[in-house]
């Protein structure tokens, strides 16, 4: 059976996989949630927007005759991952997650581990601090209970609405970043504390390395729980999975 892939995207790993799939002449579609105004152009056909929950995703999989689903969304896109797991299980469509291993602290790190966004908000219930808030624009309003801080917000797109934080400066930039540039950014803004999701991977790690080099504490938000499913951690392993899961096409 010739594979027809659905790549749930939004990460550098998803883009790398799409490129590898296209190079091998495989058929597939790259799907974005639509939270970024200008997603990176893909070498495969792409769609933008949600599916309408589990039922909507199942309808799409059937109508598009999808044979394999690769969940390469951000590790914090938990709802999409849950929907994919339930939809694929219900239809018997093979599913694998292409995900980055989470970061672990090393010598010199000063992490304050919290279980979720609410835990990070609670950790900022402290006197005025210069905070680099690297959690994405979807969660900015969650931090409104702590307006006392001087925030630096690094976002992929400029915010559409007024910021919920009175003392905040937006830096619009798209990774991957480097330790030296993030260290310079923190020094320029006098950063005293970094708030980060445990995204894993190399592209977003620069701020963690920069915080370590500057001796800054990091409020590290643990990943949300998702259903148990098969996982791979690089594009080559994902291609092997495709080649050996219900297809007659070697990769």
What pLDDT digit, counting tens, does each position of 4-32 carry?
A: 999 999 888 999 999 999 999 999 999 98
> Residue 155: which domain range?
111-221
Answer yes or no: do 132 and 180 share one domain: yes
Query: Is 249 part of any domain?
Result: no
Residue 106 located in a structural domain: no
Report the C-alpha gap between 15 and 76 in whole angstroms.
Answer: 17
Task: Give the pLDDT confidence of 166-191 residue by residue, as tens digits.
Answer: 999 999 887 778 999 999 999 999 99
The answer for 49, left when phi > 0, alpha when psi is -120 to 50, beta otherwise, is left
237 part of a folded domain: yes
Give the domain CATH number at 150: 3.40.50.720
**37 is a domain residue:** yes
Kindly report the average pLDDT of the chain as a whole number: 91
* 83 and 30 part of one domain: yes
Does a structural domain hold residue 251?
no
Contact between 36 and 136 (Cβ < 8 Å) = no
Is 35 among the domain residues? Answer: yes
Decide if 248 is inside a domain: no
Number of domains in the chain: 2
- Pairwise CA distance, residues 98 & 233, whole Å: 6
Q: Output the pTM of the full model.
A: 0.84
Residues 149 and 217 in one domain: yes
* Number of C-beta neighbours around residue 247 at 10 A: 19
């Amino acid at each position: 059976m010739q594979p027809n892939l659905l790549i749930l995207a939004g990460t550098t790993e998803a883009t790398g996989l799409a490129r590898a799939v296209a190079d091998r002449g495989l058929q597939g579609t790259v799907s974005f949630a639509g939270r970024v105004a200008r997603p990176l152009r893909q070498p495969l056909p792409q769609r933008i927007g949600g599916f309408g929950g589990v039922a909507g995703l199942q309808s799409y999989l059937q109508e598009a005759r999808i044979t394999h689903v690769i969940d390469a969304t951000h590790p914090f896109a938990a709802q999409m991952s849950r929907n994919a797991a339930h939809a694929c299980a219900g239809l018997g469509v093979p599913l694998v997650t292409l995900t980055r291993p989470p970061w672990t602290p090393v010598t010199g790190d000063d992490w304050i581990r919290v279980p979720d966004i609410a835990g990070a908000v609670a950790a900022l219930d402290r006197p005025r601090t210069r905070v680099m808030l690297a959690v994405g624009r979807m969660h900015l309003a969650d931090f409104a209970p702590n307006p006392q801080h001087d925030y630096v917000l690094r976002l992929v797109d400029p915010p559409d609405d007024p910021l919920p934080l009175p003392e905040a400066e937006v830096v619009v930039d798209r990774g991957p970043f480097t330790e030296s540039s993030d260290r310079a950014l923190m020094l320029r803004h006098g950063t005293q504390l970094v708030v980060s999701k445990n995204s894993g991977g190399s592209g977003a790690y620069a701020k963690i390395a920069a915080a370590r080099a500057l001796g800054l504490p990091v409020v590290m938000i643990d990943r949300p729980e998702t259903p148990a499913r098969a996982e791979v951690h690089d594009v080559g392993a994902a291609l092997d999975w495709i080649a050996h899961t219900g297809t007659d096409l070697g990769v």
